[in-house]
Amino acid sequence: MLAKNPNGFFLMVESGLIDKYAHALDFDRAVYDTIMLDNAVRQTKEWAKARGDDTLILVVADHNHPNSLIGTMNDDMKSVPNVPMRERVGTYEKAGFPNYPAPDAEGYPNRVDVSRRLAIFSAAAPDYYETFRPKLDAPNLPAVEGADKTTFVANEKYKDVPGAMLRFGNLPAMMNASVHSGEDVILTATGPGAERVHGSMDNTEVFRVMVEALGLGSE
């Protein structure tokens, strides 16, 4: 519909659930929505290629989250029965490769509750119960309102999950979720004007790349 305008158009699309799930320490859903974003970018590039070379595509995050992939969770430690979940975190050479099933045509594995899965943790969190497992029933809710109605406490819904452990957070008690972090984010570009995207850039420079691609202000 927008392409019918002979003067061109500007479209901004946000894959906002990546952010929402990262706040909630729900990393499996955040990864799924990252795959969704990747699919959207692929479709956009295919659409632009069919038009020729008149479309600038920028892909960038508006901020970062303090979440890191550190290895894998290994449930296949049959030689060491009843080992705590914490001791099942494999790092460095002990991480191994996850055993998710082959992805479907759109890149999604049909299950995430496999025996060797990605271990992703946050450097900023409220008090919460770490289960070391994906939340299959519903999106994660790490902390809930406390009795005083002004602070948050760990959600006891996950307290009795086998192997779960209480993790005391490093955020003020008034916070019920993780927060953003201040690292630089990645910006990629393709199409006319993409050559201006390189190295380290201020976010205001990205605005000017878009303005020039649209021809705004030109004679």
- Cβ-contact 176, 146 below 8 angstroms: no
Tokens 């449930």: give the residue: 75
- 41 has a pLDDT exceeding 80: yes
Residues 160-180 have a mean pLDDT of 96
pLDDT digits (tens, 9 = 90+) for 59-68: 999 999 999 9
pTM score of the predicted model: 0.92
Confidence category of residue 8, pLDDT binned at 50, 70, 90: confident
| Average pLDDT along the chain | 94
The tokens of 198 are what?
Answer: 């390189």
Whether the predicted pLDDT of 78 surpasses 70:
no
Amino acid identity of residue 210, one-letter, is M
Question: In Å, what is the CA distance from 81 to each residue of 61, 62, 75, 85, 96?
Answer: 42, 44, 10, 11, 19
Q: Does the pLDDT of residue 16 top 70, yes or no?
A: yes
Residue 209: the pLDDT is 94
pLDDT band at 82 (very low <50, low <70, confident <90, very high): confident
* Stronger pLDDT, 78 or 70, i.e. the higher one: 70
| Tokens 């892909």 belong to residue | 59
pLDDT tier for residue 219 given thresholds of 50, 70 and 90: low
Q: Percent of the chain having pLDDT more than 90?
A: 88
Q: What is the pLDDT of residues 93-134, one digit of tens each?
A: 999 999 999 999 999 999 999 999 999 999 999 999 999 999
